[in-house]
Amino acid sequence: MAESGKFRMGRLDHVHIRVPNRAEAADWYREHLGFEPVADYEFWATGFEGGPLQISADGGKTMLALFEASEGHPMVAQETGVAFSVDFDTFAAFTRSLPGAIDTPAGQALVANDMIDFDMCWAFNLADPWGNQYELNCYEYQRVRTELVEQDGITPVRYWPRELYDAHVGN
């Protein structure tokens, strides 16, 4: 409980993701995004029909729970997006690996010029092969600008004018 007896939600634990085949999806997430099954929860995936396979890219602190679509639980892609944050080295390696087997939510191959400048962070919007959407963020703003965007000649996307941020910080 927080102060004054008011409840406060804790950290994000996991997100439910529907896929047609959990094993195939787990392989894709491992190969392209670095997720691994979390051993402490494997019994859920193997112990009963329809249980989730918990996978994580950060040792189980934050997880995706892969549920296999079925007649009673149809395939519904997670379209609102789940955002993950990484450090500069990881973000740069990801950017420089593009294009690859990762698409934009619109279904085109994700490329470096799909990088989004959010003024405080840089991001990519991406989707798995089943339409589940994600955002990858890096908050090392100046380092990404100088060591990645400028150095590699990337032309990022902007969703709003830089002047909005400048006004916010008093520039």
87, 148: one domain:
yes
Q: Is residue 145 part of a domain?
A: yes
How many domains does the chain fold into? 2
48, 106: one domain:
no
44, 85: one domain:
no
Q: Is residue 124 part of a domain?
A: yes
Q: Is residue 108 part of a domain?
A: yes
Q: Is residue 137 part of a domain?
A: yes
87, 150: one domain:
yes
CATH of the domain at 47: 3.10.180.10
Q: Which of 93, 162, 100 is nearest to 126 (CA)?
A: 100
Identify the domain boundary among 48, 68, 88: 68
62, 92: one domain:
no
Indicate the average pLDDT of the chain: 92
92, 63: one domain:
no
Q: C-alpha 1: how far from its chain's center? A: 29
What tens-digit pLDDT sequence spans the chain (171 residues)? 456 678 777 888 899 999 999 999 999 999 999 999 999 999 999 888 888 999 999 999 999 999 999 888 888 888 888 999 999 999 999 999 999 999 999 999 999 999 999 999 999 999 999 999 999 999 999 999 999 999 999 999 999 888 888 888 887
Q: Is residue 88 part of a domain?
A: yes
pLDDT score at 42: 92
Q: Which of 86, 91, 85 is nearest to 144 (CA)?
A: 91
Q: Is residue 163 part of a domain?
A: no
* pLDDT tens digits for range 1-28: 456 678 777 888 899 999 999 999 999 9
pTM here is 0.87
64, 88: one domain:
no
pLDDT score at 1: 47
81, 152: one domain:
yes
pLDDT score at 111: 98
Q: Is residue 168 part of a domain?
A: no
Which residues contact residue 162 at a Cβ distance below 8 angstroms, ignoring those fewer than 6 apart?
117, 119
85, 151: one domain:
yes
Containing structural domain, residue 96: 77-157
